[in-house]
A and B are shown apart, each in its own frame.
Chain A
Amino acid sequence: MPPVIQLTDLSKHYESGFQALKGVNLTINKGEIFALLGPNGAGKTTLIGIVCGLVKASGGTVLVDGHDNVRDYRAARSRIGLVPQELACDMFETVLATVNLSRGLFGKPRNNVLVEQLLRDLSLWDKRNETTNSLSGGMKRRLMIAKALAHEPDILFLDEPTAGVDVSLRQNMWEMVRRLRERGVTIILTTHYIEEAEEMADRIGVINQGEIILVDNKQALMDRLGTKQLSISLQHPLSALPEALQGFNLNLKDEGLTLVYSFDHQQEQTGIAELLKALAREGLEFRDLHSSQSSLEEIFVDLVQGENGTAGSAS
């Protein structure tokens, strides 16, 4: 797939001295769904801001479909639609007026048929003549998407699209993103929900403290991040791991009161059944079982530590 966005050595220092991006290199391919994952403050929004022309880069270049986004900003920007994280609406304008404005700003003549279809797809057509301040949060989010799509962009940026959105709307949004991809739109979404990336993305990039620490296909990444842990609370503390349990990937914690078993939840055989049988054979009684997936924050920490040596090979 040919690259549609190419970031080279992109950096950003804010006047406050904060360095939001530290020499980011990243390539987004045409037609893919790319998820940019990172904790709050990692630089996701700054990165999007620079590509879309909202933030000035301190260094580096952005090519959008081969067009430099500073020197040739018209060509670059006209290909991009942006749904920002904040719900920003002109409170006293109607839904229809704001969507028409969006289309005009991007240099396109009025197209009532297209706008109607767009609003129908996003279940906003009935609200077209209402002012935006009468919309619910979810509707506003959809309005932002309608505005971003009004000029038929080839590339769509979704900055935290499902933040504060309920489950059914989230499903709708994912459905819509897939439909857009089928039409050939490249989608870049940022999120700090790993399920979102897991559900949607073809490729995932992880950004932390202004650096892209990893870019990989979703499947490859999921395999790496797929570790789950089973915590077993014991009735009586163990001083050491019994011989018969040595074969399992176990750690003893809480002064011998908790056994932590790490396993790959994507494997057919997680080994849990064998472990429980072994515990029974050893006569170890337990009070509670609790399984958990590493939180994204923990995964980031692991990645930062693990990727230090290979961070440069990202993208």
Chain B
Amino acid sequence: MNLYAIRAIYSYEMARTFRTLMQSIASPVIATSLYFVVFGAAIGSRMTEIDGIPYGAFIIPGLIMLLLLNESISNASFGIYMPRFTGTIYEVLSAPVSPAEMVIGYVGAAATKSVILGLLVLLTARLFVAYEIQHPVFMLGFLVLTAVNFSLFGFIIGIWAEGFEKLQIIPMMIIMPLTFLGGTFYSITMLPPLWQTVTLFNPVVYLISGFRWSFYGTSDVPVGISLVMSLLFLGLCLVVLRWIFKTGYKLKP
């Protein structure tokens, strides 16, 4: 195991985060805070409780998931796409670094940043709404698992993409709609029966539902299923990455 290489990649990527602190950390926190102000404090006061939870508190888990998904994907995809774009990837590929070490370095840094952001937003939310966390250990574990999952997914996108447009397509066209329709702002029990069934094909539903359970002990789908779905997604990403490194897809001609 080339631990120095993992550390080198990880700290290089983290340094990039802290150097660009304003856009890396401040802007997602501000953007998410606006959601709390608008939906939580302003509109939320006129909304009825959902499953006995005030609306402002109800949307917190969903908003953190929304942030986590977007940030994980964009950090990880950017992290690996930039060296491909500038050509500096040659160095990692010519170094005695295994694919696993490379992934741990890049994905680890992206996931770390997402987790930091998620926790910051959670703290920020406290300024606007009161909430409780019934299962803090599960909450933290699920936060980390989701950050890792979507950082892996972002890493795959960063290898697949050939331009900056392609980097944006999946987060904008797929992740964003799935998150909005995944129960961030409502409980799926509020939907007509047909749409309740359709919604179950949206994987993000399981993430938000599971995460919300860790806060309030209520969920749209059983929390065990959320966990299984997350682990399945993790497995899928790892299988795809294995294939990428085995075939050299877009990395090694």
Q: A54, B90: Cβ atoms under 8 Å?
A: yes
Looking at A54, A56, A86, A103, the one whose CB has the most chain B CB atoms below 10 A away is A54
Stretch with Cβ within 8 A of A (4 or more), from B4-12, B146-154, B171-179, B192-200: B4-12
Given contacts A53-B93, A54-B94, A56-B248, contact A107 B4 (CB under 8 A): yes
In Å, the complex CA distance between A104 and B87 comes to: 19
Q: A90, B248: Cβ atoms under 8 Å?
A: no
In Å, the complex CA distance between A37 and B96 comes to: 28
Other A-B pairs beyond A53-B93, A88-B86, A107-B4, 7, CB < 8 Å: A15-B253, A56-B252, A74-B98, A82-B91, A88-B90, A91-B86, A107-B96
Contacts of A86 in B (CB 8 A): 87
**Count of chain A to chain B residue pairs whose CB atoms are closer than 8 Å in the complex:** 82
Q: Let me know if B141 is at the binding interface, CB within 8 A.
A: no
In Å, the complex CA distance between A100 and B9 comes to: 10
Q: A108, B4: Cβ atoms under 8 Å?
A: yes
Instruction: Using CB atoms, name the residue of chain B closest to A74.
Output: B96
Q: Let me know if A97 is at the binding interface, CB within 8 A.
A: yes
Q: Let me know if B48 is at the binding interface, CB within 8 A.
A: no
**Segment 85-125 of A: residues with Cβ below 8 Å from B:** 86, 88-93, 97, 100-109
Given contacts A15-B253, A55-B253, A105-B97, contact A89 B90 (CB under 8 A): no
Instruction: Using CB atoms, name the residue of chain B closest to A105.
Output: B95
**Segment 1-23 of B: residues with Cβ below 8 Å from A:** 2, 4-5, 7-9, 12, 15-16, 19
Contacts of A80 in B (CB 8 A): 94
Looking at A84, A89, A105, A107, the one whose CB has the most chain B CB atoms below 10 A away is A105
Q: How far is the CB of B31 from chain A (nearest CB, A)?
A: 23
Q: How far is the CB of A184 from chain B (nearest CB, A)?
A: 21
Contact of B252 among A54, A104, A147 (CB under 8 A): A54
Contacts of A92 in B (CB 8 A): 16, 19
Q: B90, A84: Cβ atoms under 8 Å?
A: yes
In Å, the complex CA distance between A92 and B23 comes to: 15
**Segment 76-102 of B: residues with Cβ below 8 Å from A:** 82-83, 86-88, 90-98
**Segment 175-211 of B: residues with Cβ below 8 Å from A:** none
7 contacts between A and B (CB under 8 A): A55-B252, A78-B96, A93-B12, A101-B12, A106-B5, A107-B5, A107-B95
Q: B248, A100: Cβ atoms under 8 Å?
A: no
Interface flags for A182-226 (1: CB within 8 Å of B; 0: not) read 000000000000000000000000000000000000000000000
Q: B91, A102: Cβ atoms under 8 Å?
A: yes
Contact of A147 among B12, B15, B83, B91 (CB under 8 A): B91
Contacts of A248 in B (CB 8 A): none
Contact of B94 among A14, A82, A89, A97 (CB under 8 A): A82
Given contacts A80-B94, A97-B15, A100-B8, contact A88 B252 (CB under 8 A): no
Q: Let me know if A52 is at the binding interface, CB within 8 A.
A: yes
Q: How far is the CB of B209 from chain A (nearest CB, A)?
A: 40
- Mark B residues whose CB is within 8 Å of A: 2, 4-5, 7-9, 12, 15-16, 19, 82-83, 86-88, 90-98, 248, 252-253
Contacts of B83 in A (CB 8 A): 90
> Number of A residues whose C-beta is below 8 Å from B?
35
Instruction: Using CB atoms, name the residue of chain A closest to B89.
Output: A88
Contacts of B97 in A (CB 8 A): 105
Contact of B93 among A54, A90, A107 (CB under 8 A): A54
Q: How far is the CB of B251 from chain A (nearest CB, A)?
A: 9
In Å, the complex CA distance between A92 and B17 comes to: 12
Q: How far is the CB of A67 from chain B (nearest CB, A)?
A: 11
Contacts of A105 in B (CB 8 A): 4-5, 8-9, 91-92, 95, 97
Contacts of B94 in A (CB 8 A): 52-54, 77, 80, 82
Contacts of A109 in B (CB 8 A): 4
Instruction: Using CB atoms, name the residue of chain B closest to A102.
Output: B91
Given contacts A55-B252, A101-B12, A104-B8, contact A82 B90 (CB under 8 A): yes
Q: How far is the CB of A47 from chain B (nearest CB, A)?
A: 13
In Å, the complex CA distance between A101 and B5 comes to: 8
In Å, the complex CA distance between A82 and B12 comes to: 20
Q: A74, B2: Cβ atoms under 8 Å?
A: yes
In Å, the complex CA distance between A303 and B248 comes to: 36
Instruction: Using CB atoms, name the residue of chain B closest to A16.
Output: B253
Given contacts A74-B96, A89-B86, A97-B15, contact A104 B4 (CB under 8 A): yes
Q: How far is the CB of B140 from chain A (nearest CB, A)?
A: 29
Sorted nearest first, the 9 A-B pairs with minimum C-beta distance are: A104-B8, A88-B87, A105-B95, A74-B96, A52-B94, A77-B96, A78-B96, A107-B2, A88-B88
Interface flags for A6-36 (1: CB within 8 Å of B; 0: not) read 0000000011000000000000000000000
In Å, the complex CA distance between A249 and B170 comes to: 71
Q: B8, A73: Cβ atoms under 8 Å?
A: no
Q: How far is the CB of A66 from chain B (nearest CB, A)?
A: 16
In Å, the complex CA distance between A145 and B16 comes to: 23
In Å, the complex CA distance between A88 and B93 comes to: 14
